[in-house]
Amino acid sequence: MRSISLADGPFADDFFPFSETRTVADIRCGILTIRQKWEYSFEVSDSGKAEIEIPSNILPDPFLTETIRKGNPAAVKKAIDQAYKLRNIADIIKMGDQEIRRDFELITGGRRTMPIPESNRIVLSASGQEKRSQIPGEQIFMEPGAVVEHCMLNDTEGPIYIGKNAFVMEGSMIRGPFALGTGSVVKMGTKIYGATTVGPYCTVGGEIKNSVIFGNSNKAHDGYLGDSVIGEWCNIGGGTSNSNLKNNAGTIKLWNPVKNTFLDAGQKAGLFMGDYSRCAINTSFNSGTVVGVCANVFGKGLTPTYLSSFSWGYDPEAGYDFEKAIRDIIQWKKLKNKILSPDEINVLKSIFDRQYKADHKT
């Protein structure tokens, strides 16, 4: 198997706040992270000794992976130059539909799903029958240990993937493309529209559409999450909803503090929340809101459209005390039987110091 490395470049700044705590290769888009996609075809090395270096924002496709396998340097360079690259955080949701479908084929190819319990209602439209040889549930795949009972599953618009030991509670309605990660829980009566990815060890409820939740995060109660990306170890308070469309249906702009500029995100864009951030119950997020790392979001009325890392409420002069923030993260991790490592603390301290200097212009 050929070896490759996935290298960040200046483009990493376009992925704030998610690139603050991970490489671009470890961003989840579709069922898998970019790194995991490449690992299906190649040995991915972090040692710098790989045969080929590939920008970490490139999404692999069959033509590109086959060209790399053949090994012609000129052809490989041309294929890399022409490959699709994630450009920014808005692309994570824009490419979700395509990437769930591609990842579904990667993960399930040549395998058989666990039996889908008869208590579930599998929706199959007439057009779906024609497209898929009249086989209900052909694009539904359940891993070992997954539990799905008394739910409505609609795979006419895209596949539904249920990860190992995941649990979908009764009364949930799911329309593909949809992916549920290992050990995650969908609570009773949840409504999920494609294209949505819920990463591993999350708990979700309410209404979710065209969104990506990286992992170990909770949106466990009623409220709407649409056209949004939520990092790891986040918590969305009960009753919280986000807007994903301006009143005038105009272009939504996302603020990027690293590049000190706005990104045009198109007509639909919701909430983009960095790792370790959380919000109070009944929070109302504006369309195109960007929340940094480890922010505690609360206050009256609609949120500002940008909240910096280590924010404390809506007040730009207030800040989250670092030691208190670390204690709080440790408590949140205990809920999922995890610990906060020294390396994670060092990363957070670096972000805190940088943000403190920015806030105080020092």
Query: What number is the average pLDDT over the span 291-315?
Result: 94
pTM: 0.94
Query: What number is the average pLDDT over the span 286-294?
Result: 97
Query: What number is the average pLDDT over the span 266-278?
Result: 97
124 shares its domain with 230: no
273 shares its domain with 173: no
Domain of 154, in residue numbers? 89-187
How many domains, in total, are found in the chain? 3
Query: What number is the average pLDDT over the span 30-54?
Result: 89
Map tokens 């294929």 to a residue.
Answer: 79
- Residue 113 pLDDT: 95
- Residue 77 pLDDT: 92
Confidence bin at 123 (pLDDT 50/70/90): confident
59 shares its domain with 107: no
25 shares its domain with 103: no
Q: Closest Cα partner for 14 from 241, 286, 345, 290?
A: 290
pLDDT (tens digit, 9 = 90+) per residue, 181-233?
999 999 999 999 989 999 999 999 999 999 999 999 999 999 999 999 999 99
157 shares its domain with 265: no
Q: Is residue 52 part of a domain?
A: yes
- Say which range, 119-128, 192-201, 245-254, has the weakest mean pLDDT: 119-128
User: Looking at 167, 187, 207, which one is the last position of a domain?
Assistant: 187
137 shares its domain with 274: no
Pair of tokens at residue 133? 């040889």
315 shares its domain with 353: yes
- CA angle, 328 as apex, 323 and 330 as ends, to 5°? 95
26 shares its domain with 40: yes
Residue 133 has pLDDT above 60, yes or no: no
Angle between helices 62-70 and 73-82 (to 10 degrees): 160
User: Looking at 29, 57, 87, which one is the last position of a domain?
Assistant: 87
Helix, strand, coil percentages, rounded to 5, for the chain = 25, 25, 50
Query: What number is the average pLDDT over the span 54-67?
Result: 94
253 shares its domain with 126: no
What ranges in the chain are assigned the alpha helix state H?
Answer: 34-39, 62-70, 73-82, 89-94, 96-108, 126-131, 322-334, 342-360
Other beta carbons within 10 angstroms of residue 300's beta carbon come to 7
Query: What number is the average pLDDT over the span 50-63?
Result: 92
Q: Is residue 193 part of a domain?
A: no
Angle between helices 322-334 and 342-360 (to 10 degrees): 140
Confidence bin at 348 (pLDDT 50/70/90): very high
Query: What number is the average pLDDT over the span 83-111?
Result: 96
Q: Chain centroid to CA 293: how far?
A: 15
* CA gap 284, 167 in Å, rounded: 28
Residue 125 has pLDDT above 60, yes or no: no
348 shares its domain with 232: yes
- Say which range, 27-41, 43-57, 104-118, 322-336, has the weakest mean pLDDT: 43-57
- Residue 251 pLDDT: 96
Confidence bin at 129 (pLDDT 50/70/90): very low
User: Looking at 87, 108, 136, which one is the last position of a domain?
Assistant: 87
Q: Is residue 226 part of a domain?
A: yes
pLDDT, the chain, mean: 93
Query: What number is the average pLDDT over the span 319-335?
Result: 96
242 shares its domain with 356: yes
